[in-house]
A and B are shown apart, each in its own frame.
Chain A
Amino acid sequence: MLFELSADQEFLRDTTARFLAQYASVDELRRLRDDATGFERNYWRRGAELGWTSLLVAEAHGGGSVSGHGVVDLTLLAHEFGHAAAPGPFVTTNLVAAALSDAAAHLDVLAELVAGTAIASWCASEPPPAGPYDPPQCTVRVDGDDLVVSGTKRPVESAGVADHFLVTGRTGESVTQVLVPRDAGGITIEPLHTVDLTRRFATVRFDDVRVPATAAVGTVGGAAADVARQLQLALVIASAESVGAVQRGFDMTVEWSFDRYTFGRPLASYQALKHRFADMKSWLEASHAVSDAAAGAVQARAPEAAELVSAAKAYVGQYGVELLHDCVQIHGGIGVTYEHDLHLVLRRAVLNQTLFGTPGEHRRRIADLMEAA
């Protein structure tokens, strides 16, 4: 997270941090373990009042940021989300809101998303082995005044409760996005298993789902740049969230190393462990640095954003998760129990590592960008 926050940014961050401490406590996360949805609608609606869903939305559409840099502001909240391993369709709802706002489409739905009264999920990823930069196989066919959506999306976050799906598909060789209401006929939702305690995912199949042409977000066949932008946003929000999770795990483990005595001295006095903490500290600061840089570049729509988002996703995904596993190791047996809180953030970081492209996929993406340069 950035060192220097404005007073408004600090207020935004702190309000959510305090809200999550109360309503996304570790007890609450454990209570939601077997909950089908993983979050309460009222929790989400109250979160929306704190700015959770409006930062990427233009002021004209009822949104607005506190600093004029909505992406950066949103990463502050994402950090707190990761830190608390908080429930709720945070990343995906913001992406749909950003897409609708940028395209000035479906403003009635957008207003509900901003208010937290509706949930929407971005159907971007496709079943393995499809990667985040592969062209979609899902099709959006033009049929008279209708658009017909066919294909399978996986994983789709909060699909079980989403009121709308933003589906990315191909129309011939070009890309189209459509907003599909949940009650459009032909949608099948099959829950997936996941490592996270409160976030829910599903496979969503669209079997010739018919929507009016007005369902398009942006122009039919003209959405490639929008999708690239959404993916960049997804990567910076997810990275910021992971950094928050990693920060929490690291802090917990430093504290543990001072409190835990063995052979008559604290763990923190053993050089073998001190040196590992030093490595972890360098990975942690590096994760903050690249994640913030990526957010800044996406905010500014800078050309280097394409590479920075992949560097952030690949680095935090690899080193952040490695760091948390080392935290588990230093905790010993208690670190792999359900009773201990460490797994809450480990789950979040591990899940995020796999969403929107794995570290390996992003490393290959960076090589592709280098070669194209």
Chain B
Amino acid sequence: MNAPAPAPESLATFRARARAWIRSHLAPFEAAADVGVLRHHRNDEEELRAVARDREVQRMLFDAGLAGICVPREYGGQGLTPAHQHVLDEELAGYEYPSRFQAPTFAPCLAVLLEFGTEEQKRRHIPAILKGEELWMQLLSEPSGGSDVAGAQTTAVRDGDEWVLNGSKVWTTGAWWSDWGLCLARTNWDVPKHRGLTVFMLPLHQPGIEVHRIEMLNGSKEFCQEFITDLRVPDSDRIGEVDDGWTVGTRWMFHERMLHNSPLVTMPVGLVHSGGRAAAILDAARDAGRLHDATVRELVGEARMLEVVRGELQRRIAAGVTTGKMSDQSAAIGRLFMAVTAARTISIDFEVVGATGGTWSDDDGAAADTGIDFLMRQAACIAGGTTEMARNVISERVLGMPRERAVDRDVAFRDVPRGPTSR
């Protein structure tokens, strides 16, 4: 028998405890890391050092009782509330935090484990994640199609107590330094696509998986592609039922869209991913010598307006979904808004620096490199599911409008056209 649960820590006590610990243990946030779009500003050695520091900080948070605020205590978490998580996020403002653990390790991977994992799976992996020992990746997208996730062609064939996997996955951020992956695979080609999928978990660095790094147009090599050949996965590492992977997958993508509103994710208040902070845009305009221009000032104000509004929208959606006033599918509203405002903000960043956006020197301060970010602008509207998919979800699942005609429904997946040459 467990001891009776202690009364939950009050928010005020929690805040005092978090504040004291953070101020005496964590370094200030390195602002440069928060600027731009997937900027290629570290070499591999520096990146690995940053990964190691993230693991270390995650472990420190765990030892301090500040990891997994909303994760149940039996899995190493604190069993507290989203309000406590928000307090932690507030207290972390301006301090380093283990950014690489948030997406996709905490959301969606840990969220999926909590929801669908067996007791044994949860006890094996969730404490390890909270201690900084396991960084997870999602093996979801495939080279054959990014948005059509349920059209996965990576195949798992049962062999006794094991499964044999073959195929390829892509757009895995930082797979080259990660430990485990959630993998969506096809286990039945003779049923319609949503009914023949199964989810597995697997270590990323083992024979049978080759991890290749993809170079983005700005030189970043954080995205990877995996080639999976005769990889053996024990059946005990299956998540959810055989051929019922879409039940898991639907929630998996919900947790992915909820990234910015998830109580499992730690994100210091004021920090904005993808798109650059408005404060950085103010600096860029100033360094470009253009802050006196009323048009430029209006653009800077617009960037900040969007930043403020997206924060409030995420809070509204989080509250709406938590209380059931909004459907789970409403997470797509936040996803769409984040992406569109990120793209707009990057355009503003480019516009306020004027000609410095196209040619710059190292002496141009915050105005430098904005042109490269501008080239990468659409990444925000692609990664994590395109904005077109989000718009489909909002119109069809939130507003209830008629679904698009689909030729791959109610047809065995092996008979679905997969290209101009296939049947």
Contact = CB atoms under 8 A, between A and B. Distances in A.
A286 B305 CA distance: 11
B308 A363 contact: no
Contact of B391 (A278, A315, A363): A278
Interface of A: 3-4, 254, 257-258, 265-266, 268-269, 271, 274-275, 277-279, 281-282, 285-286, 288-290, 292-293, 307-308, 310-311, 314-315, 360, 362-368, 370-371
Interface in B374-415: 388, 390-396, 398-399, 401-402, 404
Contact of A274 (B282, B300, B309, B401): B401
Contacts of A290: 308-309, 312-313
B305 A370 contact: no
15 contacts: A3-B320, A4-B325, A254-B399, A268-B401, A275-B391, A285-B337, A286-B313, A289-B316, A290-B309, A311-B309, A366-B301, A370-B282, A370-B300, A371-B282, A371-B291
A277 B399 contact: yes
B395 A367 contact: no
Interface in B278-321: 278-279, 282, 291, 294, 297-302, 304-306, 308-310, 312-313, 315-317, 319-320
Contacts, number: 132
B298 A286 contact: no
Contacts of A281: 333, 394-395, 398-399
A275 B388 contact: yes
Contacts of A371: 282, 291
Q: How large is the interface on B (under 10, 10 to 19, 20 to 34, 35 or more residues)?
A: 35 or more
B117 to A, nearest CB: 31
B301 A364 contact: yes
A31 to B, nearest CB: 34
B309 A278 contact: no
A266 B401 CA distance: 9
Interface in B317-350: 317, 319-320, 323, 325-326, 330, 332-333, 336-337, 340
A141 to B, nearest CB: 33
Given A282-B337, A288-B316, A364-B297, 4 more contacts: A311-B304, A314-B302, A363-B305, A367-B282
B301 A365 contact: yes
Contact of A3 (B306, B325, B337, B394): B325
Contact of A292 (B316, B333, B398): B316
Given A285-B333, A371-B282, A315 B309 contact: yes
Nearest to B300: A367
A268 B304 CA distance: 34
Contacts of B282: 367, 370-371
A311 B305 contact: yes
Most chain-B Cβ atoms within 10 A of its Cβ — which of A269, A286, A368?
A286
- In the A-B complex, the 10 residue pairs with the smallest Cβ-Cβ separation, listed nearest first, are A363-B301, A274-B395, A278-B391, A366-B301, A278-B394, A289-B316, A367-B301, A289-B312, A269-B402, A268-B401
A257 B400 CA distance: 11
A288 B291 CA distance: 31
A254 B325 CA distance: 19
Given A277-B399, A286-B313, A364-B298, A370 B278 contact: yes
A310 B394 CA distance: 28
Given A3-B323, A279-B391, A289-B316, A314 B305 contact: yes
